Amino acid sequence: MMLEVTNLHSGYGKLPVLRGVSLRVEEGELVAIIGPNG
């Protein structure tokens, strides 16, 4: 395993962007998080 994230929360000021995101990225995998504006 290369990276594991559990229950991630993030935002801009008081605007929540990510709520409770969990993921596991294995060696050799690529992951991107994109939104409506790319």
pLDDT tens figures, 3-37: 999 999 999 999 998 999 999 999 999 999 888 87
Which DSSP symbol is given to 4?
A: E
Query: What is the pTM assigned to this prediction?
Result: 0.63
- Which residues are CB-contacts of 32 (< 8 A; sequence separation ≥ 6)? none
Structural contact between residues 25 and 3, judged by C-beta atoms closer than 8 angstroms: yes
- Which residues are CB-contacts of 38 (< 8 A; sequence separation ≥ 6)? none
- Structural domain containing residue 16: 1-38
pLDDT over threshold 70, residue 38: no
State the pLDDT at residue 8.
Answer: 96
For the chain, the domain total comes to 1
Q: Report the alpha-carbon distance of residue 23 to residue 29 in Å, rounded.
A: 12
